[in-house]
Structures are given as structure tokens and as C-alpha cells.
Structure 1
Amino acid sequence: MQVGIDQIGFYTPNKYVDMVDLAHARNEDPNKFLIGIGQQKMSVADQTQDAVSMGINATLRYLDHIARENVGLLIVGTESGVDQSKSASLFIKTALNLPPNVRTFEVKEACFGMTAGIMIARDYVRLHPNHSAIVIGADIARYGINTGGEVTQGAGSISVLVKADPQIMTLSAGHSAYSADINDFWRPNDSAVALVDGKYSKDVYLDFFRHTFTDYQKQTGLKASDFTALLYHLPFVKMGFKANQLAIEKQDDGTKKRLADNFAASACYSKAIGNIYTASLYLSLLSLLENAQLPANAKVGLFSYGSGAMGEFYSGQIVKNYEKAINQAADQELIARRQKLTIPEYEQIFNQALKNPQDGLKLESDEQSGTWYFAGTENHIRQYRKK
């Protein structure tokens, strides 16, 4: 029995900042952001969008196409949690009208959380082949106005359905994991923005990729040339590009071109959306599926990294006719619908979103009809509504 990803849903908020505008406002050469970092735009979440609402909206992209009664597990990976105790997944489960017998919880380990959820879901479905599992990554990357990490912010969510005999990608057995207790990135309880040692984090990311990719090849006997594409967690596009250069540096010309071209295809959406933490790797997967021509049974490697730090490499195979299970036009329209913000507008929205609204204040969303949003708190209980 094959287990893997059967559906992919995507959501990003309806506002963005252009990196050229941001560079000019910060007195930087735009090429520092466009080429040096590899970013063109970044999505901006206002006060009405959080990990819960984005997770709901991403899952709704495919929910009507699945058997809800077969869903037995719902996992949310996030480092943008909305409560210190109650999981984001419970809010989402209620909004999606899933049955009460669904097991549900939240996973946290920086940007690794969604991958952890997928591994749990894979093993769950192997033991319960008649059940499926929803795994969501939803995050808002915030470092602060005029900080070194500002250009690597973003917001969005990816939701996947894991089940037997999937339509998009089967998950291969095995993985290579590597972990260490380090301080390259963290967000204390009393901080609304993340703290990061940028250069150190880059070095650790590449080091963890070397460890996991080398070990995975030893375990499986596979070589870089056996992969159609290699996918990466993309806190910013240039980071994944550097890892991909390590993977292809000693390969033949055909392998170098294939893996370089497919990396470029996998980075298209991240260039336009920015860093979405736990979901970034799976935004890369969606971008690859929708911007490359992949043969049936194409082998895809995936490198997941969460600061602090946890790294894992695993692989999957693309299913024949996967195109029927995705909607490229709708996903690209979701990106294109966004409103461009001026820098003063972006700064005002960013700073407002750092603050919790006064209890009892009802928030209104400017999103399109049918979109879920955070509507404020009543008696300190979070309220979510559909536009």
C-alpha cells in the first residue's frame, strides 16, 4: 500500500510589499534583495489573519473534494500559535465542521513542524488505511520594521491531505534526521517578533543539509543524479539555492541542469510570497508541481529544516496524472489578487498586527467573500468568522 499526499491547498493574505519599494525605503540597492536574497515580493498579514484563519482557508481549497467522514487526524504545525494551551487545530476543526472523533493537536519545532506532522500522518494512515489525515502548516514570519530579517518575512499556509493511494505524491520509506540544541533563531514568550543570528543560521542550515542528504544517500544507495528535483525549506530563496549548489557541484551536466531548472520552478511562489516558516518546504512542492513538467514516478527529495535545530531529508515519487489534483490557475490567481501596499501602509499594518485587539472589539476583514478571518475576542475567547 502506498501512502502520500492526495490534495494540496494554499492560502496567502491579500496584501504584499514589493522588494524594490522596500529597498528604496531602507536606502539599499534593490539587487541586494532581488538577487542577494532572491525575493521579489512578500505577503503581509493584517490583524485579521493568523495561523488559524490561514489554515482554515488553505484547507477549504480542497475540502469539498474529499470524504470528510474518513478524516481521522488533523495536525497543525506552526510557530505562530494563538494560545499557550489550546491548539490551533481545534479552532480549525470546528470551522471545517469535521466530526468530533477526529484526533487533533498542534506541533511546534520552528519550521520543522509541518514535516513532523506529515511523518506522523504517514504512519497513522499506514496503520489505518481507511482513514486520511489533514496536515497544515500556517505561519507569519515577523522580524520587525527596518531589521536585518525584514526582507525575509511573509505569511501563508499550506494544507495537505495524506491518505492511501494518493493522487499527487507517494512518500518513500525511510528518512535521515539530524538535531542539535543551538540558538540560531528563537522567539521568546514575551516577544511578538523572532530573534535570529543570521549568518550562524545560514551556516547551520547548510551543515544540516549536508548531514541529512549525505546520510540519506548512504542509507538508500541513491545518488543526486537519481532525483528529478530537490526541494528545500526556503526562509528565503537564496538559502535553498546555496544548498542546491552543494547537491549538484560534482554531478554531470545533465543532472546539474535538471536539478537547477527544477529548483527554479520550485522557488517561483516563494519569491512572490516570502517566508512562511513551517509551510515553506511545501510551498516549494506546490510551486514545483505547477511550474515544472514532471514525469510519472519522478523522484523528489525534500529537505526540511527548523531552527534550534532539527533537519530531515526524505523523498517521494510523483504520481501519474498528478495535474488533475492541483489547480494552477486558481493558485496563481490567489497570488495575483493581492493589493500592493506602500511602505507607510505596510508599516502601519505590520505594527498594528503586533498588538492584540481590545477584548470585545469586533474586527472586520477586507478579504473576498467566503474567506475566514480572526474577528477579535469576546470574553478573551478568540472568534473566527467567514466573510
Structure 2
Amino acid sequence: MSMNTVGIEKIFAYPGALTLDMVALAEARGVSPSHPLEDLWVESRSLNPVWEDPVSMAVNAARGLLEGEDPEQVELVVVGTESSVDYGKPISSWVQRLAGIGPNCRNFETKHACYGGTGGLMAAAHWIASGFNRGKKALVVCSDQSRMHLGKPWEFVLGGAATAMLLSDKPELLEFELDKNGYWTHEISDTYRPTSRDEVGHADTSLFGYLEAVEGACEHFMEVSGEQDYDGNFARHVYHVPFGAMTYRAHRAVMRRWAPGRSNKELRAHFERKSKAGLKYNRRLGGTYTSATFLALMGTISAGEDLRGGDRISVFSYGSGSCSEFYPVRVGDRAREIVAAADLDGQLDARVRVSVPEYEAIEQARATYVDNPTYETDKRGPDGAWAKHWDARYEGRGLCVLDGVDNWERRYRLS
């Protein structure tokens, strides 16, 4: 069977309602502001009020994506996450119902740390490519939220967001070359979530695991595709973004191996030209886990004024534990128009800025909800401080919110 044209037709992101400035956090923690800004390349992070969680963000991303679309055309729903709210019931089941998708569809959740979204994306892409989709489309959503880590060294790389992608045989945003994907996996204990409360890991193990994976997946890509010109074959390079500065380390590792002979200064200039501008959204969102690669793709297209239809972008996805994938995509003729229509810049600007004490109160309140079988989310907060966030962002806007949990049954509605 010949492979059909397949790719991403449309993309959307939901960045959450609140934002915390990293300079303010650094000052509160007695850390130099240069650490988040210059060492990590993180300017701010997204933050969820207590009535937002990975389910509500996934639904809001899906609803934004499907605005103006016929949801009956979707017959596959996949949600990639490492932040699921239930060990059995998938987030995709809420997305199917609350996004207005019909009952004749498959839906499931994929988990492999930050790679889970890519795993779901590739499963959906192969369904489209098989032709057995009968012209129907797939919805792939990535949604994650960090745990509470007040005062910890890695507090500066936390965050949360959701992205949603519509896959079809009309890849107006990006077209896949599925016969050229390279992948690499190795069992490793670098970062993991052993309980519903904990998010732990080993920084050095994670760093070297990531770098080993990017070389392994890139090598497999070159073996499968027969392509060796890493520099010349791609207009841009996108890497998984646990934090912005990590992408430079990945780029440097790959370039030193497959395009050697450049000085550190030349490598940095090459990275600035072919990759760094794509971090424009990640810098403002913090850690977004399964969404990070796709937010970098959105940033790359948005910032790439010289990108043209047919240009190729290399994409590297990594998930702790570990699995990684290196794959090429071709830019669609309407790519910049589609990303602009998602208005992620406007959504980021519209977030409500919170102080460090407000951030700490929100995180502490959320922690009391974990493993709690019955509660109502407090939409007023201490002294009514959170009421402004609810009134300004949600009331009457049709956004998904969590009202609470009743004997373990989660109660979501559209505002």
C-alpha cells in the first residue's frame, strides 16, 4: 500500500491563565536573575489557578483548535501526557465529550514522559497514512502541569500548557516524511513521577541521557534516510525544550559529530541562525513537557519570516525513561498564516501576572487537592485575591474548568 500525504493541518495552544515572572522568583529565592534568564533562557512561566488542570487545558486547546471545524470529521483522539489525573480513565475521554466530538471515534492516552505526545502524534499519522481513516481526521493533544517544588533548584524550569493538532491528508501546516523517522530508546531513571504527588529525577543523568538520545536518534535517521548533510538539508532545527539552554547543547552535540570543524563561536552563531528564534514561546511558558517540541515548532514558524513552503525542519523529541525520535517535516504554504491565527502571542500577553506569594498560595492550595476524594475548587482564594483571575479570564467565555471532585468523580464544565 502506498503512503498517503499526511501531516498537521492546524495547530493551537492553550497557555493557561496566569504567569509568574522569573526575575521576581529569582529575587524571592535569593538567586541572581541571570540564572533563569541567561543560564536557562526562561523569562516567565505559565501557572494554572486551582480550577485548571491537565484535563481542562487539554479541552481548551482542543476547543480552540476545532473552532470553525466540523468535529464529526474527527475519528481518533489521542492525548499525550505525563500528568494524567487518573490511573485508568484517560484525559482523551473528557476531550472527546467536551470538545463536541461524536461517539464514533477511538480515544486513548499515551504516556512516555515528554515523548508521550510525539508517540501519540506518530500513531495518529500512521493511521492517516494507512488510508483506513477513510478521509477522517485525528486530534492529538498534549497537556501537562508541573508539581509543586517551592524553593527547589529546578523551580525555574517548571510550568504547564496544552497544545492541540489536527492531523489529516491535507497537511497545510506541516507534512511528514514518515519513511525517514529515526528513533532511539534506552531504559534510564533520569526523571519520573512515582506517585501522584512526586516529580523527581537526577539532573546529570537527565542531561547525559538527553544528549545520548539526540545523537542516537539522529544517527538512526541518517541510516534510514540515507541523508548525511545535517546542516544543508534543513532550514531550521527544533529540539525538545526542557529549558531553552538545553537546545543549544543538543545542537552543539549533533553539529560536532555530523558537521565538524566549527569553533564554539561559529557553533553558537549557527544555532542563533537556525534554532534559537524558535524558543520565543518556550521562554515565556517554562517547562511544558509533552507540548514543548510543538510550541518550539510554532515559535520556529512564527519567527521564520524567510521560511517558504517546502522548506524542511528537523524535529527532535525526547522523553525521560527514555525514548526519542528525530524526524523531518516540510513547511506548508499556509504555515505562518495558521500559526498566526492561533494567536499564541496574544494569549500569552493576556495572562494575569501573579506575585510570588500568590504563586506559592496557589501551589499550596493545589497540593491539598491531590488524592482528595471530595472537594470544591476555591475560585475566590484567600481574601478574594483570586476572584480577579476568574472574572477576567473565564466567566461566560466557554472555557473548561474544574469545579471539584465528588467521591473521586471529577466535575468539569464550560464557563
Q: CA offset at residue 292 of structure 1?
A: 1.4
Aligned residue runs from structure 1 range 24-103, under 5 A: 24-103=27-106
Residues 195 and 256 of structure 1: CA distance in aligned 2, closer, same or farther (over 3 Å): closer
Q: Is the 8 A contact 1:135 1:160 kept in 2?
A: yes
Q: What is the rounded CA distance, in whole Å, between the counterparts of 2:67 and 2:14 in structure 1?
A: 16
Matched, 1:320 2:327: no
Matched, 1:153 2:158: yes
Q: CA offset at residue 363 of structure 1?
A: 4.5
Q: What is the rounded CA distance, in whole Å, between the counterparts of 1:363 and 1:164 in structure 2?
A: 44
Q: Is the 8 A contact 2:17 2:49 kept in 1?
A: no
Q: In structure 2, what is the equivalent of residue 144 of structure 1? A: 149
Q: Is the 8 A contact 1:16 1:42 kept in 2?
A: yes
2:345 aligned counterpart, secondary structure: helix
Q: What is the rounded CA distance, in whole Å, between the counterparts of 2:311 and 2:135 in structure 1?
A: 26
Q: In structure 1, what is the equivalent of residue 385 of structure 2? A: none
1:355 aligned counterpart, secondary structure: helix
Q: Is the 8 A contact 1:45 1:353 kept in 2?
A: no
- Please list every run of 5 or more consecutive structure 2 residues that lacks an aligned counterpart in the other structure: 380-388
Q: Aligned to 1:187, which of 190, 193, 198?
A: 193
Which letter maps to 2:83? S
Q: In structure 2, what is the equivalent of residue 198 of structure 1? A: 203
Q: Is the 8 A contact 2:373 2:407 kept in 1?
A: no
Q: CA offset at residue 244 of structure 1?
A: 1.4
Q: Aligned to 2:357, which of 322, 338, 344?
A: 344
Q: What is the rounded CA distance, in whole Å, between the counterparts of 1:335 and 1:345 in structure 2?
A: 19
Q: What is the rounded CA distance, in whole Å, between the counterparts of 1:264 and 1:76 in structure 2?
A: 28
Q: Is the 8 A contact 2:81 2:110 kept in 1?
A: yes
Aligned residue runs from structure 1 range 363-374, under 5 A: 363-364=378-379, 366=390, 367-368=393-394, 369-374=397-402
2:88 aligned counterpart, secondary structure: coil
Q: Aligned to 1:272, which of 265, 278, 284?
A: 284
Q: Aligned to 2:240, which of 217, 226, 233?
A: 233
Could you tell which deviates more after superposition, 136-145 or 87-96?
A: 136-145
Q: Deviations over 1:301-348 (max 9, x none)?
A: 111111011111111100113233232572111000112221111111
Q: Deviations over 1:82-115 (max 9, x none)?
A: 1111111101111011111110011111011100
Q: In structure 1, what is the equivalent of residue 382 of structure 2? A: none
Aligned residue runs from structure 1 range 106-121, under 5 A: 106-121=109-124
Q: Is the 8 A contact 2:42 2:284 kept in 1?
A: yes
- Please list every run of 5 or more consecutive structure 1 residues that lacks an aligned counterpart in the other structure: none
Matched, 1:330 2:330: no
Q: What is the rounded CA distance, in whole Å, between the counterparts of 2:21 and 2:216 in structure 1?
A: 35
Matched, 1:296 2:309: yes
1:327 aligned counterpart, secondary structure: helix
Q: CA offset at residue 361 of structure 1?
A: 2.4
Aligned residue runs from structure 1 range 250-289, under 5 A: 250=259, 259-289=271-301
Q: How many residues align?
A: 386
Q: In structure 2, what is the equivalent of residue 175 of structure 1? A: 181
Q: CA offset at residue 258 of structure 1?
A: 6.0
1:275 aligned counterpart, secondary structure: coil
Q: In structure 1, what is the equivalent of residue 386 of structure 2? A: none
Q: Is the 8 A contact 1:229 1:259 kept in 2?
A: no
Could you tell which deviates more after superposition, 362-371 or 117-126?
A: 362-371
Q: What is the rounded CA distance, in whole Å, between the counterparts of 1:288 and 1:151 in structure 2?
A: 23
Q: What is the rounded CA distance, in whole Å, between the counterparts of 1:136 and 1:114 in structure 2?
A: 7
Normalising by structure 2, what TM-score?
A: 0.88
Q: Is the 8 A contact 1:7 1:325 kept in 2?
A: yes
Which letter maps to 1:322? A
Q: Is the 8 A contact 2:62 2:164 kept in 1?
A: yes
Q: What is the rounded CA distance, in whole Å, between the counterparts of 1:175 and 1:259 in structure 2?
A: 22
Which letter maps to 1:41? S
Q: What is the rounded CA distance, in whole Å, between the counterparts of 2:12 and 2:119 in structure 1?
A: 18
Q: Is the 8 A contact 1:175 1:216 kept in 2?
A: yes
Q: CA offset at residue 251 of structure 1?
A: 6.0
Q: Deviations over 1:56-102 (max 9, x none)?
A: 11112221232322211000000110111111110111101111111
Q: In structure 2, what is the equivalent of residue 224 of structure 1? A: 230
Residues 24 and 371 of structure 1: CA distance in aligned 2, closer, same or farther (over 3 Å): same
Q: Deviations over 1:214-239 (max 9, x none)?
A: 22123213221211111111010011
Q: Is the 8 A contact 2:11 2:342 kept in 1?
A: no
Q: What is the rounded CA distance, in whole Å, between the counterparts of 1:310 and 1:16 in structure 2?
A: 30
Residues 28 and 363 of structure 1: CA distance in aligned 2, closer, same or farther (over 3 Å): closer
Q: CA offset at residue 257 of structure 1?
A: 5.1
